[in-house]
Structures are given as structure tokens and as C-alpha cells.
Structure 1
Amino acid sequence: MPNYVGKSIPRVDALAKVTGKALFPGDFEMDNQAYLKILFAGRPHAIIHKIDTREAEAYPGVLAVLTAKDVPVNEYGLNVKDQPVLCGPGSTKANADHVCFYGDNIALVIAESEEIASEALKLIKVEFEDLPTISTIYEALKEDAIKIHPEKNDNIFRHYRIRKGDVDEAFKKADVIIESDYETPAQEHAYLQPEAGIGYIDEEGRVTVVVGGQWTHEDREQVAHALDLPEEKVRIIYPAIGGAFGGREDMSVQIVLGLAALYLNRKGINRPVKIVWSREESIIGHHKRHPYFFHAKWGATKEGKVIAAEVDIKTDGGAYIYTSTKVMGNATLMCTGPYEIPNIKVDSYAIYTNNIPNGAFRGFGGPQGAFEAECQMNKLAEALHIDPVEIRKKNLLREKSLLSVGTPIPPGVSIEKVVEKTALSGGWKNENNSWMQDPKKKLTNTSDKYLHRGRGFACAFKNVGFSFGAPESCTAIIELHGKEKIEKVIVRHAGAEVGQGSHTVFKQMAADALNIPIEKVQLTTSDTASTENSGSVSASRMTFMAGNSIRGAAQMALSKWENEERPAISTYTYYPPKTTPYDPETGKCEPNFSYGYVAEVADVEVNTETGQIKILNVICGDDVGKAINPQLVAGQVEGAVVQAAGYTLLEKFIQKNGYVETRTLSTYLIPTILDVPDQIQSVILEYPDPIGPYGARGMGEMPFLPLAGAIIAAVHDATGIWFNRFPLTPEEVLKGLGKI
């Protein structure tokens, strides 16, 4: 029987997607469907005193207009239910009459067509009392700043601390101290498919929502809570999904679709309700990557040993909490890099503003923390005249190393091997037990005097799975059908396919665990009516968690089969080792049960006349533990590198006074084919994780983390200038070069 794990089999959804047969949420059409449009606030901060919907309700073709009074439980939120489903008077939620950002939802129009719904929106009259807008964290932190959420004492909604050793004493012993301020920008997810879906009452009376998301069972909980229904009366179905990157973790259209279908049903109108957001609605209506602001002070001995790191972190959480606390948890841990530093002091603050809420985005907090940490390490290397790979080798985490939070890193630490393999592939050599760039492989400039080339190195580590005490599990159901031989296998798993190939590796791992041809495996996925909770497709966790749950279910099902149960049906829930939250005073905790490790080399060419940066080559070394499907791994690496290159060089999301100025893809620029690196080389490394399925680690986020740091180092190598913020647009580069 063939071994499917480790083989690059074609994606199970490839044919349907390239031929157009795969249905995405916006493709669903049902008989007699109605259409939904949302009235957004259109202003960043205000109190709503009155909403007059009479003209809209009287407009021909309008079925209903819903406001806050029509929401059974007018609140939602992944970590804290702090956001109204609809803002305005009439609900029991305190301060639900407050608008806190431009994209807050105020009213829903359900109509016979999208055009009718759009016209009716214009007829809704809203009486606002505008409030002062807080558009920066610095305004939010002023003593006299208005409280965005009046029930709070101030605009800081989370503060984490890490205290390890004595940084003050350590700095006295440091031979070199680097102190810098850094900024990282907001970033729009810009997935291919804007938010869309359809809501209806199914044949069993369940409120059913067909939508794109990342965690069916969490979506179900959020919808059920807002509609005041038992969870079993709500059904979430994911069809094909056009990308996610963390942007579908929080609610967008899920609750309002369920609300619209339920409202009509209770009025005796049993009609499906459909919504498709425009790109502009998508940009103003869902969260972004957090901007971060760092003040970092690191000290090292002349031998290159980092002995102290002090980091102050502030992040703009936007108007509501969303996943800010989880994102900042990661940034707090990763701001000192994959290094064992004996003395560490970190303070991090998540702060409310009237900007669009910020939340999860590929790497969630890791890219921001890694940028600061890798810039600090590269600056120390320069100040000490030590090669950037050599200084890392002196400080990297190893087996049993203590993390910044004072506990040992989980077994399977491979960052040293990843750094070595990537450095060797990227032009370094180890000579006399010392790392240096190989003179034979150094970049050379062209004859153009304005074109300067440089090379940069950076590395990072990233959690696999939920962190800091968040409940973590994953359930698979496997059915074995047949008489004498297994003729058909049904795998029921809720894990979402958001473009990364998860359903393909589910089949591979199931076929391998059952030792059967893969053609016998059928998947039933992402439907809460027929699957159990898998957890979110986020935190680089799904291959790791699903693999362990599928293998466990397969083993149980085979045991039943051998005992002649027909069909043999088994349900298995995998629970990884527990994690613990930050201690509020010291930060001591066991933050994660597994990590992935990555290093990158970036070669760039800087045009010092125009400020343009061209990425010539990226070498990305990832320890994936075991590449279940190597081709999919390489695809994830290439996609992450392109996305991170856009983040670093050209994606400039602009909000001013709470208003979004980059609300279309003509003003918010993402990479095109002309912007991607000339070459991306994937160095796929396989050092097994002790508890990963087949040794696999998660890796979808890892290639994103260190690229900004590597590019910044490469630009410095080319120009001699350190840039402490990005994106490095031509204007920003020319400013740094002193030319404008």
C-alpha cells in the first residue's frame, strides 16, 4: 500500500476551483431569496439618539428594516462580547447607542433585490451626536482623553508584563547597548473573496448560515448567542473559501444573515437572505493587522552575547477588543526573538482608538515582534563587528532553554539547524567554527551608479496552536464501511479549507493511518450539523491538530473493525499539552506546546534615485517537522513571502481621524506579478516535532515572520541606512536617504 504522507498529491479541490464548479459563499443562489444590505455608521465616534426607518420600510420591495431593538442579544466578540451587532437605541446592551468606528453596523435592509435594498438604505434617517475622535494611541493615552467605552476606566484594555532577571544590572555590564523606536503598519487582508453568504431556515428548523470563516463552531456560538438560541438550533456551513489569513476569525456577515433569516421566519416569511459585500464594504467592515509601536533597548557583551532586553510595546486595538489580547500575547513573547536572554523586561499595552478594530492576521503579533527583535539583533551585530549569522548562533534557543517567561521551551527545538541550513543556502559559510559571508557568493552591484544591492538575514519562531491557557482540542470522526474489506471511509472534520490545502492533507493522513487507497476516503467537512469542533484554522495549528485527531480516530475505528463492527465508527478528540496564561506580575507561564522555526535571507536592489526597492531573491528555511505534502508546503512559503513583501514595501493602509482613505484596491496597493521577488527558494527542513502527527509542525505563518527584518537589513547593507518603520515606499526610502 502506498505511503501518502510526504507525497505531493494534487489538491482535492483543484479541479473544481480551476473549472469554476466550486461554489464560494457569493455563488449560492436559492429559490425565492431576498437580499440584505447593511447601513454602516459612516462616522468614527458618535451617539445615536434616533433612527427613523419609516420611509425605508415603505419603499416598494422592502421586506424589513432591522435596528438594535430587533437583536435578541445585541453583542458579540471572540474574547470579550464588547461589540453591538447593531448600534443604536432600543437594546439592553449598555452603550449600544454608541458608534465607535466608521464601519459599525446600524441597520439592516432586507429587500427583493440588492438594488432595492441599496436605495432603501438612503432613506434611513439617523440622528447623531458626534463625539471627539481618537485616531492615535497617543491621543487615547492622554489623561483627559474621552473614554471610547464609557464603562471603562481608561482606553487601555490589556497590559502584559514579563520580568526575568535584572535588566538594570545587566545593562551596566553590557559593552554595547542599542536603543531604538520601531513602527509597524496596519495591513488589509485583501483576500480574493469579499465577505458573502446566505442565511435560511433548514429542514430541521435550524438557523443556517452558509459563509466563509475559520472556525465553524465558534461562528455557531457567536450567532446562537446573539440570536438567543441554543447552539443546536444554529447551523454553520463553509463552502469553498476565497482566502482568510485571520481576516475571517471575527464576525462579519454571519450574525446579520442569521438574524435576517430568523426575523423573516418569525414573521411568517420563510425566505433565504443573501448578502455580498463590495470590496469597499469589506475594507471598512472587517479588522486589520495591528499597527505596533516599540521602544527597544538591548545590551550585549563584546563577545556577542545578548544579556539584557527591555521592550515597551503599544498597539492600536481599534474600537473593539476582537483578538487583540491574543495578538499582543504573541508579540510580547516574540519581541525578544528566538534567543535565550537572561535578563528581560517587557511591558505591552493594547489601546482602544476609533480606528477600524484590529485583529488576527497571518502570524498575529509574530511579524511585529520579529521585526523589532531582528532589527535589534542586526544592529548589535553591526556595532560589535560580528557577522549577523554568527551573533545569532551565540544566542539561539536550544533544548531546555528558558524562554523570556521563565519556563523551558518545549522539546524539538530546531532553530539552530534552521539558521545554519538557511545561511549556507544564502551565501554564508562556516570557517574555523565562525560564520561569515562567503566572498565568492557576495552580491555585486551593476554598472548603474544608482542601483545598490544588499543582503539581509533574519529568523524567528512561532507558536503552533492556541496559547496562554486557551482551551485547545480537535475532534475527528471516522467511519469504516464494507463487509470483508474496507470499501469506503468517511472522515468527518470541521477544519476549514481556506486555500492552504488542509482538506488534501486530511485525506492523505487518513489514508496513511488506515493503510488504504486514498480514493476510498471521502471527506465531510466544515458543517456543524455533521462534524464536531475542530478549533480554528489559525495559529498554524490545523495540520498538527487535525493530524493527531484523524490518527486517533483511525486507530479506534480499526480496532472496532477488527472486532467485526460494521460500520466501524469512532470519534476521537485530541488534547495537546496544556498551556498557561501570563502571570500578571512576572509573565511566568507555559505559553505554547509546540513551535515552528524559520530563517530567511533577502537580496535586494535599491534605486537610490527613485527610492524603489526590488527583491532579487528570498531564501526561506522552514522546519515543518514533516512535509505531509511538500508541494503545498512550498506554495505556503511562496504565498507568505509575497504577502510579507507587500507588507514591507508597498501596502500602506491610511486612516485619518477615523476615516479610511485607502478603501479600494486602487488606493491600497497589494503585490502584482511585477512586485513579487524574482526568486523564492524554499528550504524545506524536516526535524520531527515530538508530539506532531508524523512529526509535523504547523508552518502556514512562519515564512511571513522574519521577512521584514531581513529586507530592512538588506536595504541597510545596500545603503548604509537603517529604516525603523515600513512600508518602504519610494517616498519613505528617499526620505531616509535624505533626498526629499
Structure 2
Amino acid sequence: MTTVEPGTTPDTTEPPSAPAEFDPDADSGPEPRERDFRVVGQSPAHHDFVNKVRGTLLYAADWNLPGMIHGKVVRSDVAPARIVRIDTSAAERLEGVVAVLTAADVPHNAIVEHASGGLGELTVEQPVLARDRVRYVGEPVAVVAATDPETAAEAVDLVEVEYEPLPGVYRPEDALADGAPLVHDEGNVLVNWHLDRGDVDAAFAAADVVVDHTYRSQHVEHAYLETEAGVGWIENDVVTLRISTQVIEHAVEIATILGLPQSQVRVIASYMGGGFGGKEDMTVEPYIALLVWRTRRPVRMIWSRQESILASTKRHPFTMHYRTAATKDGKILAVDADIIGDAGAYPCLSARVLFAGAALSPGPYKVPAVRIRSRAVFTNNVPTSAFRGFGAMQVTLGYESQMDALAAELGLSREEVRDRNYIEKGDLLAGGEPITTAVAVRETRDAALEMLGEPSQPSGPNRVVGRGFACGMQPYGRSIWFRDHAAAWVTLQADGTLLIRSGVTDLGAGQAASLCQIASEILGVALSDISVYIGDTALTPPAGGTYATRQLYMSGNAILRAARKLRDQLTPVAAKELGVPEDALVWVDGMVRTEDGTTGLSLPELVRAANEARVDTAVLNTWRARSGGFDPQKGQGHTYPDYTFGTHAAEVEVDVETGDVRLLKYAACHDVGRAINPTRVHGQIIGGAAQGIGYALTEDCVTDAGHPLSSLFADYLIPTAMDLPDIRVAIVESGEGRGPLNARGIGEPPIGPPAATIASAVEAAIGVRPTQLPITAERVLALLDQRELERGDSA
């Protein structure tokens, strides 16, 4: 342990049997000659750090083009409603306005979403611009372009839209009721997943104890530093977009919307100031593309913070009813969970989020029998979609609260009840598939608790201190029935420098830098001699989007294999030139030389020799992840490639007069398999923990009948540095990840445990468990009142 201080239809493939020992995906682990790491495991600076420090790195909103005009979106201020008429004449007459477009101007006005699970496949179209009906406040109804942003904003106000209000539904529970208003004619249930294994009813009948509770989470905003932004222009009759996006593959959808062949749309991902899943769906792309194609002029669009909070997708609020059956010695017999997620007005990625919630709802525990139901329900709220944690975050509150409640019911310590139930390699997960890599959750728990140190004393009267912890598991990589793949192109150039091309998008977490570090390790090229081109549909091989903690796993493995293939095809050339056996050579310090350094070739010399020998000095590699299938009718099968496990621990002080919760200490530990760059791992854990603490204590997108009441950071409260203690971090390196060189993904896992951790600590302080997020002062006071009532009843 290294301590660092402050849309496809599934098939019905049967799950595999448990392997006897670790079996990484097709040589993801280090080869014998790669075990003495020189670059991997170190923390060199990013290749782009100088420009970031100097403020010269260009983000999407920084680009200026000659003759550029500015786009704005006209959004509904009521919903649901029928659109009676749209009058754009006043806006069109305004001096400086170049274009005003409505649904009638969109060649193919639909983003088609498919969802599978339980109910079969449901197809729902989301219009690019609303045609005859709006379903949520903030839905786009028109788009304008003008010579400057101020004129564009004025034109937005001049577009007249007459609405006929319709009955709405804003709570999933209400949307499920008989006779509820329909958000879509197809029905209010988007998807209904179920996972079933074992005889749940028999397990509950035989149980010595049953723990039964309901937990609720809230809408949450992504709150990235950089709002949605982009520029677009036409070059050689190709619509070219430079966008703050996690997914350049949206070029396919944009081409469909414009009615163009895919070859006429190019998407370039700028370096980003955060995404967290909020830029996984399309944001500004279709509107910029429409305006560019219509006006034939460069267009820039930047959403204000208020517009971003109003219209961007949110984290799903979950209502989770858990029942846990156990023996008197604390062994879990069964989990029965019913999860309802608010999908908002359109599908987006809700079906996948609710699948993740279902698959992960038992947590990192052995559960012989499971019955999980997970539904995504349409409402007239803003659509919900991907957000760091992707369904796993919400259910962590549920399963960890159940474990604490079980411990209290049986008079066991929270550690003891978990020790009796932790999952181990070879055990079956909820979907019936075995876990095939190391499960170091106990080690992460012990490390997190140790880092808290000695308990603090209350700072004054009417204040109490409590400690808690929560364990979590998060998949990395997409659901494996998607048969995911990523490609990477590696070229050793004439001067001995290395060129990497990958379709990866960089959200600011160093995704591209990790690829460079892996290639440097394998080929012995200094990081300063590596150039990387990323995120361009015209110039880089496809890598899939940056989401699902998949890029290190996917593109990292693609780079690893491309670099190895390049090494393996050039090593014989060097061996022949030097007159030594191939296995006597190593690639290090810009040379291919013998271990003792007595003879060798520089990389430029090797390239010349390879060209003379007619051996390629470039490799394009496509890596294909584990594949399998999940049967939604049986509720069994493969789910995800692998998981990252971890534990967080916290100490809080609660003011019992005001209900204020103050975080005193916080510690986090995760098994990362192998840390490619420990500093970046450290940063991801701290950032995820901080984001999760906001989710636990302050963040809430409050609405009133679909109308947002939290539209600025003045009333949507994210934690600042003043609100957080030093977050202590420990890293476990089990060496059993499925990523390159046995790394595990760490982008999402740290955001899962904080809410359950803080709820555990608050309960330890006041004796009552928070079951609804965020844990505000008002809710804490309500819990204290509940405690006094219960004491009175028992007196």
C-alpha cells in the first residue's frame, strides 16, 4: 500500500464459471521484461501542463474565427404544454440577426433513443427543436444567430411562443399511478430491469432478522468549471465542430440531423474544463451545426451558467426501498430492492443508469439470493442522464445504510458485520457472474479508518462528534454486451520521436497523458519526445467516448498493444543490425541496446534500418474488450468487465441546536490495481470525494412543478476549499486490474462512498440515520426531533 497525504439489445450468453486464478484480458498485465518500471508508477508532469499554467491552452470558448456569428437557444418557460404557434418575425427584423431556426428548419428533427430491459425495447424520439409540444422547462424550441452575443440574446427575447399548458407529472411515484398524465404516448415507464437469483422468499422466511428501509437521493448538477461551448465552421464543404464534448462520435448523429453523409461532418474535441458525464449527451453540437449549415458562416455558442443549470442533464434522483434478510450471526441471506429513478422528460442514458443501479445494488457483499427491480420513469422534469458514479453512487447509500442498520440490529460492530459478508474473488455478483479479480475492500477499509487517527473532541457545548465509513464498488468499462473496442495508432518517426493518435477526449484528468506514459514505458521514448493527437473524427482512430471510467481500460490497452507490436516488429531489425539475440535487447532511454549497454542503436538509426528492411515503423491496433450478454428476461448474465473497490471514512461534528454538520476529517482508500501515475490517482480520489461530499451535504437542484429554483451558484451550493478538511488518501495496488499493466479505473469510484460515509458518521453522532439527501441542517433537526419522540414513546 502506498499512502499519499493531502442502446444495444442484450443477448443471452450464459455467465462463465469462476476462474481458479487471475486471468487478465489477453495480456493486459506486464510481460517479464516490463516489470522493472521506469515511467509507470512515477508522476511526471502532463504534456500540456505548461500551457495550462500559463493560461495559453485553448478551450472551446476561446476560439475566434473571421466573420464568426453567435448562437443562442430559445427555451420553453412553461411545461408541459402544447405549442400553439411560434412567431419569429420580430427577431428576424432585429438588426444584426442572421438566422432564426425552428423545428421546420431541421432536416431530421429527432434524436432517437432505444432502451432495452424488462419491458422489451422502447423507442422514444427527442426532438432537436420542439415541434408541437414541450415536456420540460428549458426545452429548446428555436435557435438564433446574430453578429454579437448581445444581439443574439435580444433576439431570443423577441421570439414569441404561444403555449397551451397541459397537466404535468413531476414525481416518479405520481407518474406510476393509474391515470397519470403521460409524458410520452408510449407510457411513463422507460425501462424496467430486474435481476433475480436464488429463492428470495424462502430466504426471508428463514431469516432471523429483516432490515427494511427506504432511501432517497436528489437531482444534482454537474457544475463543471467550463460550461457547454463550441465553435463550428465549414471547410471544404465539411461541417467542422470544435466542441467541449466527451464523445466525438456524436458526428454520426449530427450528420443524421443535417441529412448529410457522415463524411461531411467532423468533430474535434477541445481540451475540457470538466465533463463528469454532463457532456456525454449532445449539448451545443446540433445547434451550432444547424446554424453553420444554414448560414455558411462560423458560429460560436457558449451557455451561461444559468442556462447550463437550467437545461443540462442532471443526476437521477433515486427512491430505493431495501429489504435485507440475515441470520442472527450477521450473514446475509437475501436482498430485495425496488429502485425508481426519475428519468425526466426524455430517455438520454437513463436505461443504462438504472441498469447499473440494479447490478450494483447488493454492494460488495455475498448475497445468495437477490430480487432487484429497477425502473426509469418519465416525468416533466429536466432530463437526467450520465453523471460520474452512474447509478452506483445512489445505491451505495442504500446498501451501506442497510449494513449499518443490520449491525445495529444484531449488536455487532459495523466492521464485524461486513467482515462476515465481503465478496471474494470467485463469488457471484447479483447477475450471477463471478468476480474474477482481487477484492481488496477489507484492506481499503482498514487503511481509511487508520488514516482518521485519534478521535476529536467536541468543540463546544451542544456539539457531538461521530465517525463512520462506507465501502463501495464501481465498474470500469461499458456494460460488456456492447462489445466495446478502441483503436490507437503509434508511429516511430524518423528522428526517433513518437507520434500517438487516439480518439480519446481529455476532460482535464490527464487521459492523453496516461497514454503517453504507457507508450514511454514500453518503447523507452522520453515523454518529452512523444506527441499526441486526440479527439478528432477526421484524424484519429475511433476510441469511443470518455465516460464509464473506460478510457484507461480501453485506449490504455489499445496503446499498450500497439506499442508492444511496434517493439516486437522492430526488435528483430535491431538484433540483426547489432548481431545479438533479440531477447538480449531492451528499449530504454531512446535506445535499443543490450542489458549491459555495450552495444545498441539509437531510435533514428533503428528507423533507418527498418526502412531499408521494409519493416513498418507504425502500428494501428484495435483492442476489443471482454464481451458477453445479459438476459433481461432471466435477469442474469454478464454485466461489466471489472470493478474498483474502495472505502471512505469520515469524522463529523453535529451542532444539535442548529443541525449544522461540520466535516472534521476525511480519508479515502481505493485498490487501483496499478497506479500508472500516482499523483493523478491521488487527484481523482480527492476530486471525487469532494464532489461526493457536496452530494451528501449541500447540493440539490430544487424545483417547483418542474421550474428550477436553483439556477446559480448563489443558491446551488457546491462545497469550496473552506468547507473541506484535508482529504487523506491511500492507494492499494493489488496488481489485478484488467486495464493496461493491471491498472483499474479510478475516475468514478471515489464519488460513490462519501454520502453513505457521512450518513454513517452523522448517525454515530446523533443516534439516528439520515435516509434522504442532502443531509441539511433542517433534516438533521427533524431527525433529532424524531429521536426525542422515540425516546418519549419508549419511556
TM-score bracket, normalised by the shorter chain, equals over 0.9
Q: 2:225 aligns with which of 192, 204, 222?
A: 192
Cα distance, 1:49 vs. partner?
Answer: 2.7
**Aligned counterpart, 1:669:** 717
**Aligned counterpart, 2:767:** 720
Q: 2:279 aligns with which of 244, 248, 251?
A: 248
Q: For 1:418, give the aligned amino acid.
A: T
1: CA distance, partners of 2:399 / 2:779? 21
**Aligned counterpart, 1:707:** 754
Q: Is 2:480–2:626's contact at 8 Å kept on the other side of the alignment?
A: no
**Aligned counterpart, 1:216:** 248
**Aligned counterpart, 2:238:** 206
Cα deviation digits, residues 176-202 of structure 1 (max 9, x gap): 111011101111000001111111112
**Aligned counterpart, 2:439:** 413
Q: Is 2:672–2:737's contact at 8 Å kept on the other side of the alignment?
A: no
Residue pairs, 1:88-487, within 5 angstroms: 88=131, 97-150=132-185, 152=186, 154-202=187-235, 204-217=236-249, 219-265=250-296, 271-426=297-452, 441=454, 443-446=455-458, 448-482=460-494, 487=496
Q: 2:783 aligns with which of 710, 717, 736?
A: 736
Q: Is 1:406–1:589's contact at 8 Å kept on the other side of the alignment?
A: yes
Q: For 2:312, give the aligned amino acid.
A: H
**Aligned counterpart, 1:546:** 555
User: TM-score, normalized by length of structure 2?
Assistant: 0.86
2: CA distance, partners of 1:528 / 1:9? 29
Q: Is 2:483–2:626's contact at 8 Å kept on the other side of the alignment?
A: no
Cα deviation digits, residues 85-118 of structure 1 (max 9, x gap): 0112xxxxxxxx2211112111111111111111
Cα deviation digits, residues 523-573 of structure 1 (max 9, x gap): 111111111111121111111212110011112223444551476121111
State, as a whole percentage, how many aligned pairs show the same letter: 35
Q: For 1:38, give the aligned amino acid.
A: V
Q: 1:494 aligns with which of 503, 514, 518?
A: 503
Q: Is 2:271–2:505's contact at 8 Å kept on the other side of the alignment?
A: no
Q: Is 1:215–1:534's contact at 8 Å kept on the other side of the alignment?
A: no
**Aligned counterpart, 1:571:** 620
User: TM-score, normalized by length of structure 1?
Assistant: 0.93
Cα deviation digits, residues 496-519 of structure 1 (max 9, x gap): 111211122111111112122111
Higher relative contact order (CA 8 A, sep 6+): 2
Unaligned runs of 5+ in 1: 89-96, 266-270, 428-440
Cα distance, 1:644 vs. partner?
Answer: 0.5
**Aligned counterpart, 1:603:** 651
Cα distance, 1:596 vs. partner?
Answer: 0.6
Q: Is 1:77–1:250's contact at 8 Å kept on the other side of the alignment?
A: no
For the structure 1 residues 690 and 717, does the alpha-carbon distance in structure 2 shift closer, same or farther, using more than 3 Å as the test?
A: closer
2: CA distance, partners of 1:668 / 1:690? 37
2: CA distance, partners of 1:595 / 1:683? 18
**Aligned counterpart, 2:80:** 45
Q: Is 1:44–1:133's contact at 8 Å kept on the other side of the alignment?
A: yes
2: CA distance, partners of 1:259 / 1:510? 39
**Aligned counterpart, 2:576:** none
For the structure 1 residues 36 and 123, does the alpha-carbon distance in structure 2 shift closer, same or farther, using more than 3 Å as the test?
A: same
Q: For 2:139, give the aligned amino acid.
A: D
For the structure 1 residues 64 and 444, does the alpha-carbon distance in structure 2 shift closer, same or farther, using more than 3 Å as the test?
A: closer
For the structure 1 residues 81 and 312, does the alpha-carbon distance in structure 2 shift closer, same or farther, using more than 3 Å as the test?
A: closer
Q: Is 1:604–1:616's contact at 8 Å kept on the other side of the alignment?
A: yes
2: CA distance, partners of 1:447 / 1:205? 68
2: CA distance, partners of 1:7 / 1:192? 28
2: CA distance, partners of 1:450 / 1:224? 63
For the structure 1 residues 193 and 214, does the alpha-carbon distance in structure 2 shift closer, same or farther, using more than 3 Å as the test?
A: same
Residue 644 of structure 1 aligns to a residue in which SS? Answer: helix
1: CA distance, partners of 2:726 / 2:463? 19
Q: Is 1:56–1:123's contact at 8 Å kept on the other side of the alignment?
A: yes
Q: Is 2:483–2:624's contact at 8 Å kept on the other side of the alignment?
A: no
For the structure 1 residues 54 and 349, does the alpha-carbon distance in structure 2 shift closer, same or farther, using more than 3 Å as the test?
A: same
Cα distance, 1:425 vs. partner?
Answer: 4.1
Q: 1:641 aligns with which of 689, 709, 733?
A: 689
For the structure 1 residues 61 and 458, does the alpha-carbon distance in structure 2 shift closer, same or farther, using more than 3 Å as the test?
A: same
Q: Is 2:642–2:737's contact at 8 Å kept on the other side of the alignment?
A: no
Q: Is 1:460–1:598's contact at 8 Å kept on the other side of the alignment?
A: yes
Cα distance, 1:127 vs. partner?
Answer: 2.3
**Aligned counterpart, 1:93:** none
Cα deviation digits, residues 322-377 of structure 1 (max 9, x gap): 01011111110111111110111111110000000001111110110111000001
Residue 493 of structure 2 aligns to a residue in which SS? Answer: strand
Q: Is 2:700–2:774's contact at 8 Å kept on the other side of the alignment?
A: yes
- RMSD of equivalent CA atoms: 1.7
Cα distance, 1:489 vs. partner?
Answer: 0.9
Cα distance, 1:169 vs. partner?
Answer: 1.1
Q: For 1:523, give the aligned amino acid.
A: V
Residue 670 of structure 2 aligns to a residue in which SS? Answer: strand
2: CA distance, partners of 1:574 / 1:400? 26
Cα distance, 1:423 vs. partner?
Answer: 4.1
Q: For 1:46, give the aligned amino acid.
A: A
Q: Is 1:410–1:593's contact at 8 Å kept on the other side of the alignment?
A: no
Q: 2:540 aligns with which of 518, 531, 534?
A: 531
Q: For 2:488, give the aligned amino acid.
A: A
Q: For 1:350, give the aligned amino acid.
A: A
Q: Is 1:61–1:112's contact at 8 Å kept on the other side of the alignment?
A: yes
**Aligned counterpart, 2:702:** 654
The farther-off stretch of 353-362 and 492-501 is: 492-501
2: CA distance, partners of 1:66 / 1:444? 61
1: CA distance, partners of 2:77 / 2:737? 51
Q: Is 2:266–2:537's contact at 8 Å kept on the other side of the alignment?
A: yes
1: CA distance, partners of 2:663 / 2:459? 18
For the structure 1 residues 6 and 118, does the alpha-carbon distance in structure 2 shift closer, same or farther, using more than 3 Å as the test?
A: same
Q: For 2:678, give the aligned amino acid.
A: P
Q: Is 1:398–1:416's contact at 8 Å kept on the other side of the alignment?
A: no
The farther-off stretch of 692-701 and 465-474 is: 465-474
**Aligned counterpart, 1:13:** 48
Q: How many residues align?
A: 704
Q: Is 2:487–2:543's contact at 8 Å kept on the other side of the alignment?
A: yes
Q: Is 1:397–1:416's contact at 8 Å kept on the other side of the alignment?
A: no
Residue 125 of structure 2 aligns to a residue in which SS? Answer: coil
**Aligned counterpart, 2:31:** none
Q: Is 1:624–1:697's contact at 8 Å kept on the other side of the alignment?
A: yes
Q: For 1:175, give the aligned amino acid.
A: D
Q: 1:594 aligns with which of 630, 635, 642?
A: 642
